[in-house]
Chains A and B, each alone.
Chain A
Amino acid sequence: MLGLNKKDASLLLMVAALVAFAPILLNPFPEASALAQFNAGYPDLMQRFVIFGIFAVGFNILFGLTGYLSFGHAAFLGAGSYAGVWMMKLLTVNVIPAILISTVVAGLFSILIGFISLRRSGIYFSILTLAFAQMSFALAASVLTPITGGETGLNLALDDPRILEGGNTTGNIPAPNFFGLEMGDSLQLNVAGWLWTFNVGYYLAGVVLIIAFYTAIRIFRSPFGLMLRAIKSNQHRLGFTGLNTRPYMLACFVISGMYAGLAGGLMVAMDPLAGAERMQWTASGEVVLMTILGGIGTLIGPVLGAGLIKYFENIFSKINSNLLHEWFAFLPDGLEDFVVTIIYPFVGKGWHLTLGLMFMGVIIFLPGGLVELGQRIRRVFSKKDANQHTKPAE
C-alpha cells in the first residue's frame, strides 16, 4: 500500500487508527468518576500530543538515522511559529498558508544553521546547534522585538491588514480556521456518561501527523535513509568510498528542521501566539527526552515518547497530596501518611523528578526506549522467539 511493505503499512494504519479514535481511547473513564482527571481526551492536550509527535518524528530523522545530536532544534519550531503568526496577521487567518510558510521558513533557517553547524560533528555539532539556538532565543527576546514581539510574544490584533480578507477593524479578532471551520470548534458526544470531544483543530493536526509519519517511513526505507544510516555507523569509511556526505547530512538536517517548523505552524494554528521561550534550549532538551524515551531510531517511538511526556506534564502533574490521601485511605493511618510522604515528591509539581529518573533509567537499561521495552515484553510472552538474539531496535 502506497509503496510500503506489509509491516510498515500496518504500522501506518495503526497510527491512523490511534489518531482517529484518540478522543475515545484517551477518555477511558466516565466523566463523573473520580478517575476522570486522568482522561487525556480534551482537545488542547490531544493537539499537543500530535504536534509534539510531529516535532519528535522530525528530530528522530536527524538523531535516529545519523546520530547527530542537535541541542537546538527548538529554534526551528520557534522560527516556524513566528512565520505562521505573521502569515495570519498579513494574509489571512486561514491556517493552510500559515502552516506552509512555517515549514518553508523553518527549512530556510535550517539550511543556514545546518550549513555552518554540519562542518563539525559529535559534541561540537551539539554545541554549535545549541549556540545558534540560544542566539536565536536571545535575539528574539530582545533586539528583534518589532518582528517577534519580544518577551510578551507575538499575537494577532484587530487592526492587522489580513489582505485576503480585507482587514476589518470592527468586531472580534477572527479565529484561525480551515476554510471556515474554526480550529476551536468541536463536536461533543455524551455517551452513557463518557464525554467525547471531536475537535476540528485536533483532526487537522492528526491528518498532518499521519502524512508526516508516512513521509518519515518513506525516508527511513529509502536509499537516502540507508545513506544516513551509513553515516551513523561510519562517516569516515563512507568518505573513503568517494562519497561526499555533506549534502546528505544537510538534506537530512533541513528535512528535520522543516518537521519542526511544521509543528510550530500547527501550534500557532491551534493558538495564534508565538513566544521566544519556545526557542530556549530547554525546549530543545524536551524533544531529545521525547525521542529517547520513546525509542530512538524507531518509527513509532518518538510519537509515543511525545505522548508520554505531554501526558506527564498535563495530567500527572495535577496529582496533589489530598488526592493521594484519598487513594490510600484504605491503609491504616500511620502507613497511609508514610506512603503518601514517599510518593508525594514524585508526583504533582515534582513530575520532573519522575521524568528525570525515568529518562536515566531508559538510557541506562533500555537504550531502545519504550519500543524496546515492548519488544522485550513480547519476547517473554512468545516462546517462539525466546531463543533468538536481541535485534537492535530499528
Chain B
Amino acid sequence: MDQIVLQILNGLDKGSAYALIALGLTLIFGTLGVVNFAHGALFMLGAFCAVTLSRILSLSHTILDETKKDFLGNPLKVEVPYVKDWFGEAAGAAIIDWSVPLALLFTVPVMIGIGVIMERGLIKHFYKRPHADQILVTFGLAIVLQEIVKYYFGANQIPMNAPQAFFGSFDFGAMIGMDPGAVIYPYWRIIYFCFAAVLIAGVFAFLQFTTFGMVVRAGMADRETVGLLGINIDRRFTIMFGIAAAVAGLAGVMYTPINPPNYHMGMDFLVISFVVVVVGGMGSLPGAILAGLLLGVLESFASMRQVLEIMPGINQVVIYLAAIIILLTRPRGLMGRKGVMED
C-alpha cells in the first residue's frame, strides 16, 4: 500500500511537469495550428531565467573584514552580495535563499516577451506552410536557442537550490492516516505538484471565465468567423502564444531544484511531451493534462522493483508503448476532438 501511494506521488509529480509542457504545446496547437518543436527549448529558457536571476541576486563586491584573519594573517576578504547591502543582512540572505520562487515573477514577463517575439518574428510566416515545415523550422529554432544558452552558461548542469524552508522530506503517509514513516516524500516535489495544479487551474479559469478567454475559445473553434466579427483574433492568439511560453517557462523554473538545468533538458522533455499531446489528443487541453498525469503515473509504476523483476526494462519504454497502443486503437487520442489533424 505504501509503495502504491509513493509511486502515485512520484508519477503525479513527474506527470505534472509533462502536463505543463503538453498544456503549452496544446494551447499553441489549438490556437495557431502550429506544431511547436521549440517548446522544450522554452521550458529550458524558463529554467535558465531562474539561473540568471539567482546569479544577478548573488552579484557581490569584496570587502575586507578586519575582525577575521586569513591564514597569512591579513584581513579576510569577504564577498558581500549587493542585495545584503540594500536590504540588510537577514532580508538579503532571505532574498537569495528564495531566488527560485522569486524567479517566477521574473520569468513571466521575460517568457511572454520571448513568446510574442517568436510568434511575430517567425511562426507567423509559417501558418500557411505544411506541418512538416513548421516542425522543421521550430526544430531549427530549438537548436539555435540551445546553443545560445550553451554559449553563455556552459554545457554543465547548474545546481539550483530550493529555499531552505523546503529542504528535506516530510511524512506524507502520516498525513493521510497511514503508519508514520511509511511514505516519506520531499517537500519541493509536493510543492511542484501543487504549483502545477494551480497553474493549470489558472490557465483553464482564464480561458473559461474571462472575456478574453471566451474570444480565444471562439477563435479556436472557428477562427475565420471570429475574425469576420471584427475581432483582432491574431493579436489574441499571439498573446496566447506568449502565455503558453510563460507556462513552459514557469514549469522550467520550478523544476530547477529537482533536476539541475542544462542546455539540452528541453529536448529530453520535448519528446515525451509530444507523446503526451498525441496520447491526450491533439488540440484537447484536458486531454493533455490527463495524458500527462496518466503517463507519469504509468512510468513510475513501471519503475517499481516488483514490476521490473517480471518485465525488465519496462520502465524505459512504457510511455512509448502506451503511446503506440493508444494511437493505434484510439486514433484521436484519449480526448481528441473530431476533425483536428485528421488525415
Interface set of A (CB-CB < 8 Å, partner B)? 67, 69, 116, 119-124, 126-128, 130-132, 134-135, 138-139, 141-144, 235-236, 281-282, 285, 288, 292, 345, 350, 352-353, 355-357, 359-360, 363-364, 367
Bound-state Cα–Cα, A288 to B316, Å: 25
Closest to A69 in B: B132
Q: Name B151's contact: one of A121, A281, A345 (CB within 8 Å).
A: A345
Bound-state Cα–Cα, A128 to B142, Å: 21
Of B196-204, B217-225, B324-332, which stretch is located at the interface? B324-332
Bound-state Cα–Cα, A32 to B136, Å: 42
Bound-state Cα–Cα, A130 to B276, Å: 13
When the two chains form their complex, are residues A116 and B328 in contact, meaning their CB atoms are under 8 A apart? yes
Q: Using a Cβ cutoff of 8 Å, how many contacts connect chains A and B?
A: 111
When the two chains form their complex, are residues B313 and A350 in contact, meaning their CB atoms are under 8 A apart? no
Interface set of B (CB-CB < 8 Å, partner A)? 35, 122, 125, 130-133, 135-137, 139-144, 146-148, 150-151, 267, 271, 274-275, 278, 282, 312-313, 316-317, 320-321, 323-324, 327-328, 331, 341, 343
Q: Name A124's contact: one of B150, B151, B278, B320 (CB within 8 Å).
A: B278
When the two chains form their complex, are residues B148 and A353 in contact, meaning their CB atoms are under 8 A apart? yes
When the two chains form their complex, are residues B151 and A360 in contact, meaning their CB atoms are under 8 A apart? no
Could you list 11 A-B pairs, sorted by A, with CB under 8 Å? A122-B341, A124-B327, A127-B275, A130-B271, A143-B313, A350-B151, A352-B147, A353-B144, A356-B143, A356-B146, A364-B122
Bound-state Cα–Cα, A174 to B274, Å: 45
Q: Name A127's contact: one of B150, B151, B278, B317 (CB within 8 Å).
A: B278
Q: Name A292's contact: one of B136, B151, B271, B343 (CB within 8 Å).
A: B136
When the two chains form their complex, are residues B144 and A360 in contact, meaning their CB atoms are under 8 A apart? yes
When the two chains form their complex, are residues A122 and B148 in contact, meaning their CB atoms are under 8 A apart? no
User: Within 8 Å CB of A356, what residues of B?
Assistant: 140-144, 146-147
User: Within 8 Å CB of B321, what residues of A?
Assistant: 135
A351 to chain B: closest CB distance in Å? 9
Bound-state Cα–Cα, A121 to B341, Å: 10
When the two chains form their complex, are residues B139 and A285 in contact, meaning their CB atoms are under 8 A apart? yes
A123 with B135: in contact, given A138-B316, A364-B125 (CB under 8 Å)? Answer: yes
When the two chains form their complex, are residues B147 and A363 in contact, meaning their CB atoms are under 8 A apart? no
8 nearest CB pairs, A to B: A143-B313, A356-B143, A138-B316, A353-B147, A360-B140, A356-B144, A131-B320, A359-B140
When the two chains form their complex, are residues A135 and B320 in contact, meaning their CB atoms are under 8 A apart? yes
When the two chains form their complex, are residues B140 and A363 in contact, meaning their CB atoms are under 8 A apart? yes
Q: Name B137's contact: one of A131, A281, A363 (CB within 8 Å).
A: A363
When the two chains form their complex, are residues A357 and B144 in contact, meaning their CB atoms are under 8 A apart? yes
Bound-state Cα–Cα, A241 to B146, Å: 47
User: Within 8 Å CB of B130, what residues of A?
Assistant: 67
Bound-state Cα–Cα, A139 to B315, Å: 10
Bound-state Cα–Cα, A353 to B274, Å: 24
Q: What DSSP secondary structure best describes chain B's contact surface?
A: helix
When the two chains form their complex, are residues B151 and A126 in contact, meaning their CB atoms are under 8 A apart? no
Bound-state Cα–Cα, A124 to B136, Å: 15
Closest to A119 in B: B328
Bound-state Cα–Cα, A142 to B308, Å: 12
Bound-state Cα–Cα, A360 to B140, Å: 5
User: Within 8 Å CB of A352, what residues of B?
Assistant: 143, 146-147, 150
When the two chains form their complex, are residues A288 and B136 in contact, meaning their CB atoms are under 8 A apart? yes
User: Within 8 Å CB of A350, what residues of B?
Assistant: 147, 150-151
User: Within 8 Å CB of A144, what residues of B?
Assistant: 313
Closest to B316 in A: A138
When the two chains form their complex, are residues B313 and A139 in contact, meaning their CB atoms are under 8 A apart? yes
When the two chains form their complex, are residues A116 and B151 in contact, meaning their CB atoms are under 8 A apart? no
When the two chains form their complex, are residues B132 and A67 in contact, meaning their CB atoms are under 8 A apart? yes
User: Within 8 Å CB of A119, what residues of B?
Assistant: 328
Closest to B143 in A: A356
When the two chains form their complex, are residues A123 and B141 in contact, meaning their CB atoms are under 8 A apart? no
User: Within 8 Å CB of B125, what residues of A?
Assistant: 364
User: Within 8 Å CB of B312, what residues of A?
Assistant: 142-143
Bound-state Cα–Cα, A132 to B328, Å: 13
When the two chains form their complex, are residues A123 and B131 in contact, meaning their CB atoms are under 8 A apart? yes
User: Within 8 Å CB of B146, what residues of A?
Assistant: 352, 356
User: Within 8 Å CB of A353, what residues of B?
Assistant: 143-144, 147-148, 151
A63 to chain B: closest CB distance in Å? 8
Most buried by B among A122, A288, A345: A122
User: Within 8 Å CB of A142, what residues of B?
Assistant: 312-313, 316
Closest to A127 in B: B278
B144 to chain A: closest CB distance in Å? 4
Closest to B132 in A: A69
User: Within 8 Å CB of A281, what residues of B?
Assistant: 271
A138 to chain B: closest CB distance in Å? 3
B47 to chain A: closest CB distance in Å? 19
A131 with B324: in contact, given A120-B331, A281-B271 (CB under 8 Å)? Answer: yes
